[in-house]
Structure 1
Amino acid sequence: MNIDQATAEDLAALRAAFGVDDGGESALGWEAVRAFEAEHGVALPEPYRTFVAEVLDGSFQGPPEYGLLGLAELPDDWGDDGSGRKPGEPFPLTAAWLWEEDEGPYEDPEAAIERVLGHGSVVLGTDGCAMNWHLVVSGPQRGHIWHITDVGAMPFGSEFGFTTAEPGFAGWVAAGKEWFDAPSAQ
């Protein structure tokens, strides 16, 4: 996973996965991407950064189930306007956390859950019922995809043991619907 440089192969695979061949008309553009990054104090990881700037910013087709959201969008069932989100603050997790069953090592688990939901990521889209996919944009997990639901959060990628797919945005898109195809390593 290279989060510092988009490869031509990754971008071609992403174009093919979303069926995009419009010469960048569906893209956000570099000026808007840089404005988002400056406003939030982040550098989006590659190849997502180049993808939204040059290829596509949101799609009705997935992944995920209900389509890929635009860079600054949130799912319809988000619950608030998202004004409390802080992409520039580090994403707080490095391992899966099922908060429905375990409060974790946190003095205030509710505040910790709010940080998981709102810090260090952009929301890529939803599979419905508050099952959202996030791309981590700041902190030690930068570049990784996380599945965050109302009961917990888990990282995506072969190194975490839930899938044989490659990590990161390109690996997540390439996996299609095979997001959890490997037995749990836990």
Structure 2
Amino acid sequence: MNLDHADPAELAALRAAFDVDDGGESALGWEAVRAFEAAHGIVLPEPYRTFVAEITDGSYSGPPEYGLLSVAELPSDWDGDVEERVLNEPFPLTAAWLWEEDPDAAADAAVDDRLEQVYNHGSIVLGTDGCAMYWHLVVTGPHRGHVWLISDVGAAPFGQRFGYTTAEPGFAGWVRHWAANKPWHDAA
């Protein structure tokens, strides 16, 4: 997982997975990507950065279940305040946390602050599978470049190295996993 340089093979696989062949018209463009990064004090991890700049900035043809959101968009069922999102603050987790099963979570007022950080610090929302299940791409902190599933009961990193799937970690691994299973093409 190279977070600083886009691999041409990964970009080709991403383009194929999202079935994007519009000559980059749906892409954000480099000027807009750099403006977004400057406004938030971050640098997006590769290959996602090149993907939104050159391929597409959101798509209904791929993962997650309800489509890939634009880099600056939040799902329509997002319960938080957009003003609370602070992308340049480190994402607070490095291991899965099931707050629903955490005995300290119910009794600790600091847990509310940590939960807010999980949802709002150091990540962009890639999209939703519905039912308050959001896929995040971590953009700051020790897990930069990793994809996390954050739901109403807990948060877990995506990828084989974390024991939750056999797929490679990161945006490209997440997309390859979806493309191999093509859940959005099952209706027919």
Q: TM-score scaled to structure 1, two decimals?
A: 0.92
Of 161, 166, 178, which aligns to 1:164?
A: 166
**C-alpha offsets along residues 117-146 of structure 1, whole Å, 9 cap, x if unaligned?**
000000000000110000000000000000
Q: Secondary structure at the match of 1:176?
A: helix
Q: CA RMSD in A?
A: 1.7
Matching residue's letter, 2:145: G
Please give the residue correspondences for 1:18-33 in structure 2 after superposition, counting only pairs within 5 Å.
Answer: 18-33=18-33
- 1:177 to 1:101, Cα distance in 2 relative to 1, 3 A: farther
Contact 1:15 1:55 in 2 (8 A): yes
The Cα shift of 1:62 comes to 2.4
Q: Which runs of 5+ in 1 are unaligned?
A: 180-186
Q: Which runs of 5+ in 2 are unaligned?
A: 182-188
| Structure 1 ranges of 4+ moved more than 3 A | none
* Correspondence for 1:75: 75
Contact 2:19 2:61 in 1 (8 A): no
Contact 1:166 1:172 in 2 (8 A): yes
Q: Secondary structure at the match of 1:83?
A: helix
Q: TM-score scaled to structure 2, two decimals?
A: 0.91
In the comparison of the two structures, how many residue pairs are matched? 179
Contact 1:163 1:178 in 2 (8 A): no
**C-alpha offsets along residues 52-105 of structure 1, whole Å, 9 cap, x if unaligned?**
00000001122100000000000010024412100110000000000011146x
Distance 2:32 2:152 in 1: 31
| Identity level (%) | 69
Matching residue's letter, 2:121: H
Q: Which has the higher helix share?
A: 2
Q: Secondary structure at the match of 2:99?
A: coil
Of 131, 134, 139, which aligns to 1:132?
A: 134
